[in-house]
């Protein structure tokens, strides 16, 4: 049986540009492959435009902001060699710690959520029904994935559709629309319309749930986008609206699973707000498969990579092991989806990359794991969002995979290594063997490096 065609969200990448990039807004969006060239040109232009101004000021109210990275990352001196980092030209990096322009990813995070419509796309049904497409599933998803460390509190202080002053068409929002000028106008209009009823200082991030009839079907074009760490955004109640996710048309593939899976675009977009890059590339989900919601956010539920959980501050230093010394050493891994225990082993290669190992099983948010085992992937902090910063190694190449679940990259679904299997990087003298599994399902891995 052939793998099912993948009605994937259109995938594309954002190009890095210039040394100012690290403090620039990261515009992350998905565009249809057919529009790649045009979109690339658009985005390059925008990126340059945005990097010319330098905003200042706090992201959210004083005292409530901890920052995603330095404040929440748990590590010791033994982790130093594993704290890979990127050059300044990388727009959105897998590096650790995360720069602190992004929203906090631990503790209580307040998500202002506004439902907006337009005169040429009036909200159909109740705004609160739109809200209910994403909540409470999104907060539950974060609670599960973070082992309770992210207490995500959505709030919809305005219960009705918030009507924008201009027609949807006037904002010029289509595939690849940059922050300027359309999104800047939209954010400014949202702020103006909501301000009488909303104290923006009380929130860590903004979700804009656009009426689904504005713009094309998500099957044709995914417009959903996040502007993260954007200090140049319009200011509301004294703070820039720096971390904002916009969700458009329903990610409904017609398989009848929308009620169960359609919300997943929001944890993906919010992942950017917390500093996570896109793992899909122009070629789709073939780099990281369904092993992370930043790779595939359509279809059955999936979790985040252990690397992302460490980056977000959801793992303790004691749960992460840095395999930097030469010789042979054994480590135990417990299922990533379960709280407690050893979760991640990282084998650094150089200052900006390394191999990560974690045990993936079918539980928690991981709904489609069909061959449990040790996932081995390369993390490269010097590869930008959408360019493939994570590459999963397939223990059974060209097998076709073990799932036919819609919108799940099939080939990599059986990528995990099982007891007896070995991964080798002869050039660097690294051998990783899954040495065995005990009755509890914990796996032992043996790492040899010269």
> In angstroms, what is the minimal distance from the CB of 296 to Zn ion?
11
The DSSP result for 80-148, as a single string, is GGG-----TT-SS---SSPPTTSPP-SEEEEEEEEEEEBTTBPPPS-HHHHHHTTTTHHHHHHHHHTTT
Give the binding range for Zn ion (CB under 5 A) out of 27-35, 112-120, 154-162, 358-366: 27-35
> In angstroms, what is the minimal distance from the CB of 120 to Zn ion?
27
- Does position 94 interact with Zn ion (CB under 5 A)? The reply is no
Give the binding range for Zn ion (CB under 5 A) out of 14-22, 25-33, 67-75, 326-334: 25-33
Residue 114 and residue 206 in contact, taking contact as beta carbons nearer than 8 Å = yes
- Which residue number, 189 or 292, has a Cβ lying nearer to Zn ion? 292
> In angstroms, what is the minimal distance from the CB of 29 to Zn ion?
7
Q: Which of 27, 28, 279, 312 binds Zn ion (CB under 5 A)?
A: 28
Q: Which residues of 205-220 are buried (b: 16+ CB within 10 A; e: fewer)?
A: bbbbbbbbbbbeebbe
> In angstroms, what is the minimal distance from the CB of 58 to Zn ion?
25
For residue 228, what is the enclosing H or E element? Answer: strand 225-228
Residue 336 and residue 306 in contact, taking contact as beta carbons nearer than 8 Å = yes
> In angstroms, what is the minimal distance from the CB of 272 to Zn ion?
6
7 half-sphere exposure, CB direction, 13 A CA radius: 13
Instruction: List the structure tokens of 288.
Output: 């990281």
> In angstroms, what is the minimal distance from the CB of 278 to Zn ion?
4
- Which residue number, 28 or 300, has a Cβ lying nearer to Zn ion? 28
Say how far apart CA 118 and CA 7 lie, in whole Å. 28
- Letters for 237-276 (x = contact with Zn ion by CB under 5 A, - = none) are ----------------------------------------
- Which residue number, 371 or 391, has a Cβ lying nearer to Zn ion? 391
- Which residue number, 253 or 278, has a Cβ lying nearer to Zn ion? 278
Secondary structure string (H, E, C) spanning 146-199:
CCCCEEEEEECCCCCCEECCCCHHHHCCCCCCCHHHHHHHHHHHHHHHHCCCCC
- Which residue number, 28 or 379, has a Cβ lying nearer to Zn ion? 28
Give the pairing type, strands 443-449 and 327-333: antiparallel
- Which residue number, 272 or 449, has a Cβ lying nearer to Zn ion? 272
- Which residue number, 278 or 303, has a Cβ lying nearer to Zn ion? 278
Give the binding range for Zn ion (CB under 5 A) out of 22-30, 149-157, 202-210, 344-352: 22-30
Which residues are CB-contacts of 434 (< 8 A; sequence separation ≥ 6)? 373, 374, 417, 418, 419, 420, 421, 422, 443, 444, 445
> In angstroms, what is the minimal distance from the CB of 392 to Zn ion?
17
Site size toward Zn ion, by CB under 5 A: 2
Q: Which of 101, 278, 352, 414 binds Zn ion (CB under 5 A)?
A: 278
Question: Looking only at residues 48 through 67 of this chain, which bind Zn ion when binding is defined by CB under 5 A?
Answer: none
Q: Give the residues lining the site for Zn ion (CB under 5 A).
A: 28, 278
């Amino acid at each position: 049986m052939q793998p099912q065609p993948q009605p994937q969200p259109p995938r594309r990448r954002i190009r890095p540009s210039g040394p100012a990039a690290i403090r620039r807004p990261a515009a992350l969006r998905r565009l249809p492959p057919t529009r790649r060239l045009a979109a690339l040109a658009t985005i390059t232009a925008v990126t340059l435009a945005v990097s010319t101004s330098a905003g200042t000021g706090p992201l959210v109210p004083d005292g409530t902001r901890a920052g995603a990275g330095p404040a929440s990352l748990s590590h010791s001196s033994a982790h130093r060699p594993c704290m890979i980092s990127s050059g300044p030209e990388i727009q959105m990096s897998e590096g650790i710690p995360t720069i602190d322009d992004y929203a906090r990813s631990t503790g209580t995070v307040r998500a202002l959520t506004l439902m907006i419509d337009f005169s040429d796309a009036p909200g159909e049904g109740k705004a609160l029904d739109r809200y209910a497409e994403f909540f409470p599933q999104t907060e539950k998803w974060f609670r599960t994935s973070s082992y309770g460390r992210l207490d995500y509190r959505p709030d919809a202080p305005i219960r009705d559709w918030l009507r924008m002053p201009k027609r949807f068409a006037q904002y010029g929002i289509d595939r690849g629309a940059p922050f300027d000028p359309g999104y800047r106008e939209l954010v400014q209009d949202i702020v103006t319309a909501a301000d009488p009823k909303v104290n923006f200082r009380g929130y860590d991030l903004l979700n804009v749930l656009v009426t689904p009839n504005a713009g094309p079907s998500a099957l044709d074009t995914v417009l959903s986008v996040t502007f993260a760490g954007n200090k140049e955004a319009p200011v509301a109640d004294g703070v820039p609206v720096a971390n904002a996710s916009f969700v458009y048309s329903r990610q409904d593939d017609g398989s009848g699973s929308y009620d169960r899976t359609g919300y997943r675009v929001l944890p993906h977009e919010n992942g950017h707000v917390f500093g996570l890059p896109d793992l899909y590339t122009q070629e789709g989900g073939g780099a990281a498969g369904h092993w992370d919601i930043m790779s595939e956010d359509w279809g059955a539920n999936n979790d985040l990579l252990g690397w992302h959980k460490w980056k977000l501050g959801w793992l303790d230093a004691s749960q992460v092991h840095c395999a930097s010394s030469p010789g042979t050493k054994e480590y135990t891994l417990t299922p990533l989806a379960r709280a407690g225990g050893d979760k991640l082993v990282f084998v650094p290669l150089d200052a900006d990359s390394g191999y990560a190992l974690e045990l993936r099983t079918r539980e928690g948010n991981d709904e489609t794991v069909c061959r449990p085992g040790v996932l081995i992937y390369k993390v490269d902090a010097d590869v930008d969002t959408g360019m493939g910063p994570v590459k999963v190694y397939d223990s059974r190449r060209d097998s076709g995979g073990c799932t036919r679940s819609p919108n799940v990259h099939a080939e990599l679904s059986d990528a995990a290594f099982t007891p007896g299997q070995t991964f080798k990087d002869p050039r660097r003298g690294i051998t990783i063997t899954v040495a065995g599994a005990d009755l509890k399902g914990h796996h032992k891995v043996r790492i040899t490096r010269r």
